[in-house]
Amino acid sequence: MNRLLLLGNEKFGIDLFKTLTYSENIKTYVVSEREVQFRRDDDFVKIEAVNNIVNEYDEEERSMIPYDNPKIVMITFSDIEFAKEILSDDRLPKGLYMDDFKHIRPFEEVIEKL
């Protein structure tokens, strides 16, 4: 299982993922107010809202996040290609940042290298 964090502005969050639907082969499940799952065959992408995690960043890491009050979701996935498919959706906002627990970088820069 792999994990990463996706960071956005105040308008970003778990509710955005609840509205995404795909073709028949990708099922969307709203598990709770704080969790959405996308499933295709045996692969999954789980999106979870996280709170107060920004307090865990040190000052240098915090300076890399361009939002005063970032909204953060944790992405847990079984297959990188399926995760890329979900996270590359044009309906997601531009200007997101990704934290792979090593670096905080612009999402567009990271998604190409995954």
Domain boundaries, the chain: 2-111
Phi, psi of 53 (to 5 degrees): -70, -25
pLDDT of residue 55: 87
Kindly state the DSSP code that residue 11 receives in the 8-state scheme. T
The confidence score (pLDDT) of residue 35 equals 98
> Which whole number is the average pLDDT over 27-52?
95
Distance from C-alpha of 28 to C-alpha of 108, rounded to nearest angstrom: 24
DSSP E strands, the chain: 2-8, 27-32, 35-40, 43-50, 71-77, 97-99, 104-106
Signed CA dihedral, 53, 86, 25, 44: sign only: negative
Q: What is the pLDDT of residues 4-20, one digit of tens each?
A: 999 999 999 999 999 98
* pTM of structure: 0.88
pLDDT of residue 72: 95
Please write the tens of the pLDDT for every residue from 63-79: 999 998 899 999 999 99
Distances (CA, A) of 104 to 4, 35, 68, 86: 10, 23, 15, 20
